[in-house]
Amino acid sequence: MIPTLLGATLLIFAVTQLFDPISRAALYITNPQQFTPEATNEIIARYGLNDPAYMQFSRWFSEVLKGNLGFSRSGRAPVVEAILSKIPATVELVMYCSPFIVLIGIFLGVKSAVHRDKPIDHITRGVSIMGSSLPSFWLGIVLLSVFYVGFHVCPPGRLGGTADLYVMSDAFTRYTGINTIDALLNGKIWIFLDAIEHLILPVVVLSTIQIAYIVRVMRSSMLEALNKGYITMARAKGLPQKAVINKHARKNALIPTITLSGILIAGMLNGVIITETVFGFNGVGRWSANAALSMDIAAVLGFALFAGIVFVTANLLVDILYAYVDPRIRLA
């Protein structure tokens, strides 16, 4: 785990070297006034941005460890603060997507494997292949235009006009920054409903691709599990078909699906960027997309590092879950 993280920072640093020193200065700036030409030259001198790469790396790395990822022009705040302020929106989106993805994905995967080559199998496979061939941003915009433009339901953005104003006002105490939970904590149901209404379309868009992927993986591992020896043994013991599938086959089929969920998390992070940009959800994804557009190097690289850390820790959790599910790993 640690070497991968170290490697990740090295890679990020390598990417920074592609830029000229002036723009790289943004990585070391802590307050907005420093964007004047003289201030940047002074920073170039102080941090020795023209020296050879390895010397800079130690300085940059110590800065990063101190938590100074530079200043983001687009976010008009130090990168670390900008990220922290934007995380709740993304977490909210991901929080509502994951249960759908996991439950529906596994359910459909099992169903289509059990009824192999029957209508339900072809439909699920067809839908799942279509799901994974749909450009998510195109789907998002089509849904928006149909529902928002057409029926004036599920508008983009995180909260409706009035709800947004109320949340900004100090009458509303922000515990976690996640609207739905804060609304409940504050006992404001109408804000909760408003937040949910805004969340429907992004959740649909973000989970279609992921569900398509899980259904395909689950189906193939389920098919593999179904013709193993212990399934025939279970049937020979007199177990009903339902128990054979749900107890014996499904638990074994889950193992390969869990190991591949690392790719799922990567897909999730990518999806977040696009979904937030389409629906105007100002989470971490949308901010980094805008930063990339406006050549705000510090923001983009800060976000990349953040995403790397999230991804590596998520993979670690997946490995632990994997060891829990598969006894062969746990005792080895």
Partner 1 sequence: MKNLLTLKDLVVKFYTYEGVVEAIDGVNLNLRDGETLGLVGETGCGKSVTSLAVLVLVPAPGKIEGGSALLATKKGNLELLSQKEAVLQKIRGDDISMIFQDPRASLNPVFTVAEQVSEVFFLHRKEELCKRVLAGLENDLSKRSWKRLIYKLERNIYKKMSENPNSWRLRILSKIPIVNRYQLRLKKEAGKDVVKILGLMKIPDPERVAEMYPHELSGGMAQRIVIAMALGCNPGLLIADEPTTNLDVTIQAQILALIRELREEFKSSVLYITHDLGVVAELCDRVAVMYAGNVVEIADVMEIYKNPLHPYTSALLESIPRPGKEFKTIEGEVPSLISPPIGCRFNPRCTKATELCSQQKPTLEEVEKDHFVMCHLYPGSSK
Partner 2 sequence: MLILGSGWRDQMGVKSRFQEFKVGIDPTVKEIKFMLSRVRKSPLSLIGTSIVVFYAVIALLAPVLAPPNPSWTVTQISDPFAIPREKYQSTPSPPSELHPFGTAEWNYDLFYGCIWGTITAFRVGLYVVFGSLAIGLFIGVVAGYYGGVIDELMMRFTDVIFAFPGLILAMALVTAFGRSLDNVMLALLLIGWPSYTRLIRGEILRIKQEDYVEAAKAVGCSDFRVIIRHVLPNSIYPIVVVASLDIGSLVLSAAALSFLGLGAPEYFADWGQLISTSQNWMLKGWDYWYTFIIPGVFIFTFVLGWNLLGDAFRDILDPTLRRR
Alpha-carbon radius of gyration of the chain: 24
192 vs 303, beta carbon nearer partner 2: 303
Query: Does 11 sit near partner 2 (CB under 8 A)?
Result: yes
Q: How far is the CB of 310 from partner 1 (least distance, A)?
A: 29
143 touches, from partner 2, partner 1, none (C-beta below 5 to 8 Å by class)? none
Q: Count CA within 13 A, CB hemisphere, residue 237.
A: 10
Cα–Cα separations (whole angstroms), residue 2 to 5, 68, 227, 265: 5, 21, 40, 19
Q: How far is the CB of 104 from partner 1 (least distance, A)?
A: 20
- Please list, in sequence order, all residues whose beta carbon lies within 8 angstroms of the beta carbon of residue 211, skipping any fewer than 6 positions away: 100, 101, 104, 105, 108, 128, 131
Q: How far is the CB of 231 from partner 1 (least distance, A)?
A: 9
Q: How far is the CB of 289 from partner 2 (least distance, A)?
A: 5
- Please list, in sequence order, all residues whose beta carbon lies within 8 angstroms of the beta carbon of residue 186, skipping any fewer than 6 positions away: 172, 173
77 touches, from partner 2, partner 1, none (C-beta below 5 to 8 Å by class)? none
Q: How many residues bind partner 2 (CB under 8 A)?
A: 53
From candidates 185, 200, 289, 321, binder to partner 2 by CB under 8 A: 289
Q: How far is the CB of 50 from partner 2 (least distance, A)?
A: 18
Q: How far is the CB of 312 from partner 2 (least distance, A)?
A: 5
Record the tokens describing residue 313, joined without a space. 């820790």
Contacts 24+ apart (CB under 8 A), 123-129: 124/215, 124/219, 125/215, 125/216, 125/219, 127/212, 128/211, 128/212, 128/215, 128/216, 129/212, 129/216
Record the tokens describing residue 7, joined without a space. 């490697």
**Residue reference for tokens 């013991």:** 237
Cα(267)–Cα(81) distance, integer angstroms: 25
Largest Cα separation within the chain, whole Å, is 83
What residues between 84 and 103 interact with partner 2 by CB under 8 A?
none
Query: Does 45 sit near partner 2 (CB under 8 A)?
Result: no
Please state whether beta strands 71-72 and 77-78 pair in parallel, antiparallel, or not at all (unpaired). Answer: antiparallel
What residues between 298 and 327 interact with partner 2 by CB under 8 A?
300-301, 303-304, 307-308, 311-312
331 touches, from partner 1, partner 2, none (C-beta below 5 to 8 Å by class)? partner 1
236 touches, from partner 1, partner 2, none (C-beta below 5 to 8 Å by class)? partner 1
Record the tokens describing residue 69, joined without a space. 């990822």
Binding mask 213-252 for partner 2 (x = CB under 8 A): ----------------------------------------
Compute the C-alpha angle 135/138/144, nearest 5°: 140
What residues between 144 and 163 interact with partner 2 by CB under 8 A?
144-145, 148-150
10 vs 165, beta carbon nearer partner 2: 10
252 touches, from partner 2, partner 1, none (C-beta below 5 to 8 Å by class)? partner 1
8 touches, from partner 2, partner 1, none (C-beta below 5 to 8 Å by class)? partner 2
Cα(123)–Cα(120) distance, integer angstroms: 5
Q: What does the binding site for partner 2 look like in residue numbers (CB under 8 A)?
A: 3-5, 7-8, 10-12, 15, 18-19, 122, 125-126, 129-130, 132-138, 141-142, 144-145, 148-150, 262, 265-267, 269-270, 273-274, 277, 288-289, 292-293, 295, 297, 300-301, 303-304, 307-308, 311-312
